[in-house]
Amino acid sequence: MTTSAELIDVIERRSAHNYHPLPVVIREADGAWVTDVEGRRFLDCLSGYSSLNFGHGNPKIIQAAQQQLQNLTLTSRAFYHDQFAAFCGGLGDLTGKDMILPMNTGAEAVETAIKVARKWGYEVKGVEPEQATIIVMEDNFHGRTTTIVSFSTDPDAHDGFGPYTPGFKIVKYGSIEAIREAIDANTVAVLLEPIQGEAGVLVPPDGYLTQVRELCTAEGILMIADEIQSGLGRTGRTFACEHEGVVPDMYVLGKALGGGVVPVSAVAADADVLGVIKPGQHGSTFGGNPLACAVGNAVIEILNTGEYQERAARLGEVLHGRLREMVGDGVVTVRGRGLWAGVDIDPSLATGREVSEALMERGVLAKDTHGSTIRLAPPIVISEEDLLWAVDRLAEAIASFRR
């Protein structure tokens, strides 16, 4: 048998070092648990950055994928296929929007939203050609394309990849005044994450999303919510915007839409917005393919029951209640909503990376983000017992750095 160490050795020599993984080689998984090549089990508290909201190997999703693999996997959008109507209708109903534009990865869906907003700006709002600007947030994370990293404020994501795409104004997240000041005649949209995941699960001040909605409506510009990581049950609601009863003009969805099986992303908006895209102006060979749609349809059916949203809300209370008790005990602050938490570790004790490694040794997989923050986002299928066990392991891991 090839060992983890042998596999890691090959991977480190033969793959680009664009990630810094924890030293674990996973072979199989079920629900909230994964097993490595040596047979060691770990509780997954990352969920593929919220792609596995419904658990590893979710039976309904796997069954839909298996059935579709046998029927039809790809047509390209040159033809229609029998899974597409249910996907667009189902996701349209879930989001309350008229239309869906399917893509594959999250970054592609964000790119789609940017293109749609610009085109809408020129054709509907009447912005001068080539002048459209989109207001974006400091510490955003929307993906890795050259356009998206052009407006990233993270030096790792941004620096060294110019020349950069113009047309973005970066403002402070959480400040409605900053958006107000940035708006001018060329502004077509505000693009934000309702909770900033990669930045460390940053929840904006209460009322902020409502204010953004009201301002966008008053100014006649589009509110675009990137719910790729925050959406589809993670925060205890279908969409994180719902916590403030806010409906954006465009939802950008990805990750969990593919059930942890295939990349599925989409933009959802009404016909007066998405209708600006005409044949030949945007697309992707694999976007909206039959396998992706069959998996997406299973995900939509799961979300329509409301079961996972309710479970994330209930378990989120348990998680945050327990994490709050740790504040002052090696933990500086805890943020988040539902089954999603950013835990700031006392930087004088250890880095986030060191705590992630100590957690791994104790059977829990979680990843640091930005210095001393640990992000917890277990699959929503996790049991309450396992969840509390994971938090106990976190307390233990942090305590291990006290001398």
Q: Binding residue for ligand PLP (CB under 6 A) from 55, 90, 106, 233?
A: 106
User: 226, 344, 368, 386: which one is catalytic?
Assistant: 226
Instruction: Name the strand (E) or helix (H) holding 268.
Output: strand 265-269
**Cβ distance to ligand PLP smaller for residue 330 or 378:** 378
Over the window 137 to 176, marking each residue x when it contacts ligand PLP by CB under 6 A and - when it does not, the resulting string is ----xxx---------------------------------
278: number of Cβ within 10 Å? 8
Q: Binding residue for ligand PLP (CB under 6 A) from 254, 259, 290, 352?
A: 254
**Cβ distance to ligand PLP smaller for residue 19 or 79:** 19
Which residue is associated with the tokens 């790119």? 111
Could you tell me if 69 and 400 are in contact, meaning their C-beta atoms sit under 8 angstroms apart? no
Cβ partners under 8 Å of residue 351, min gap 6: 345, 368, 371, 372
Binding window for ligand PLP (CB under 6 A); candidates: 157-165, 180-188, 191-199, 281-289: 191-199
Q: Does 110 participate in binding ligand PLP (rule CB under 6 A)?
A: yes
In three-state secondary structure terms, 43 is strand
Instruction: Tell me whether residue 172 is one of the annotated catalytic residues.
Output: no
Instruction: Give me the sheet containing 367-369, strands edge to edge.
Output: 331-336, 341-345, 373-376, 367-369
Could you tell me if 265 and 104 are in contact, meaning their C-beta atoms sit under 8 angstroms apart? yes
Give the residue closest to ligand PLP by C-beta.
106
Q: Does 49 participate in binding ligand PLP (rule CB under 6 A)?
A: yes
**Cβ distance to ligand PLP smaller for residue 241 or 398:** 241
Binding window for ligand PLP (CB under 6 A); candidates: 8-16, 81-89, 101-109, 149-157: 101-109
Tokens of 52: 């596995």
Q: Does 267 participate in binding ligand PLP (rule CB under 6 A)?
A: no
Alpha-carbon dihedral sign for residues 327, 329, 332, 335? negative
**Cβ distance to ligand PLP smaller for residue 144 or 362:** 144
CB of 9 to ligand PLP, least distance (A): 27
Q: Does 105 participate in binding ligand PLP (rule CB under 6 A)?
A: yes
User: 84, 141, 151, 286: which one is catalytic?
Assistant: 141
Q: Binding residue for ligand PLP (CB under 6 A) from 36, 111, 139, 193?
A: 193
The rounded distance, in Å, linking the Cα atoms of 186 and 276 is 18
Tokens of 91: 């996701």
Closest of 109, 104, 47 to residue 76, by C-alpha: 104
CB of 37 to ligand PLP, least distance (A): 25
The rounded distance, in Å, linking the Cα atoms of 150 and 139 is 13
The rounded distance, in Å, linking the Cα atoms of 84 and 289 is 8
**Cβ distance to ligand PLP smaller for residue 118 or 255:** 255
Residues 359-378 that bind ligand PLP (CB under 6 A): none
The rounded distance, in Å, linking the Cα atoms of 124 and 269 is 15
User: 255, 344, 367, 386: which one is catalytic?
Assistant: 255
Pairing of strands 331-336, 367-369: unpaired
Q: Binding residue for ligand PLP (CB under 6 A) from 226, 249, 368, 386?
A: 226
Q: Does 194 participate in binding ligand PLP (rule CB under 6 A)?
A: no
Torsion from C-alpha of 73, 79, 81, 86, nearest 10 degrees: 120
Binding window for ligand PLP (CB under 6 A); candidates: 64-72, 118-126, 222-230, 342-350: 222-230
Q: Binding residue for ligand PLP (CB under 6 A) from 90, 92, 194, 197?
A: 197
- Establish how many alpha carbons lie within 13 A of residue 378's alpha carbon, considering only the half-sphere containing its beta carbon: 30
Instruction: Tell me whether residue 226 is one of the annotated catalytic residues.
Output: yes
CB of 158 to ligand PLP, least distance (A): 15
Instruction: Tell me whether residue 255 is one of the annotated catalytic residues.
Output: yes
Could you tell me if 238 and 303 are in contact, meaning their C-beta atoms sit under 8 angstroms apart? yes
In three-state secondary structure terms, 125 is helix
Q: Which residues are catalytic?
A: 141, 226, 255
The residues of the shown chain that bind ligand PLP, judged by CB under 6 A, are: 49, 105-107, 110, 141-143, 193, 197-198, 226, 228-229, 254
